[in-house]
Amino acid sequence: MASVRIREAEEGDCGHILRLIRELAEYEKLSDQVKISEEALRADGFGENPSYRCLVAEVLPAPGEPQGPSVVGYGLYYFTYSTWKGRNVYLEDIYVTPEYRGTGGISSKIIQKVAQVALDQGCSQFRLAVLDWNHRAVALYKALGAQDLTETEGWHAFRFEGEAMRKLAGK
């Protein structure tokens, strides 16, 4: 019987991470929005001053099985900063490939590991964003003690991009 372990991503995992990023985008029918390359992921995550950190969920085959371990999920996070509270952790992406969902609680294990990182780094809070139609995810996070700040405090996420941002910059 195969077992799963959650470990820190290494540079060599970037190909797998990109595959899973694309899988998630495909599932959301937005695959044409994935512009990032494997080289960019490597440079951004494993250079001198990484822009993100990543955990991967790896299935380890049972003894005797011919295939090697395979990466079936990932959790990508980074540190944010509050002038009042200092460093926080922000979980940007969490994804488990469909065949490995529902059994073994891989998502929960990934979140647990990120929570541990948050505590080790002296963070007082862990944040993430969820789409309102994703009831399963909302239920999972609430069961872990998450609170919906959009509901309780009215926070909305805003963005400037593309043409709007160029205009602001005076270009």
Distance CA 33, CA 93 (A): 15
Distance CA 141, CA 112 (A): 11
Could you say which of 2, 23, 44, 61 contacts another protein (CB under 8 A)?
44
Q: Specify whether the CB–CB gap between 95 and 110 falls below 8 A.
A: no
The two tokens of residue 131 are 């789409």
Residue number with CB closer to another protein (71 or 118) = 118
Could you say which of 29, 64, 83, 103 contacts another protein (CB under 8 A)?
83
Contact letters for another protein, residues 100-139 (x by CB under 8 A): -----------xx--xx-xx---xxxxxxxxxxx----x-
* 23 lies in the binding site for another protein (CB under 8 A): no
| Amino acid, single-letter form, for residue 164 | A
Q: Specify whether the CB–CB gap between 159 and 153 falls below 8 A.
A: no
The two tokens of residue 64 are 């005797």
* 3 lies in the binding site for another protein (CB under 8 A): no
Phi, psi of 124 (to 5 degrees): -100, -10
* 164 lies in the binding site for another protein (CB under 8 A): yes
Residue number with CB closer to another protein (8 or 65) = 8
Residues contacting another protein: total by CB under 8 A: 72
The two tokens of residue 4 are 């799963």
* 144 lies in the binding site for another protein (CB under 8 A): yes
* 99 lies in the binding site for another protein (CB under 8 A): no
Q: Which residues are annotated as catalytic?
A: 141
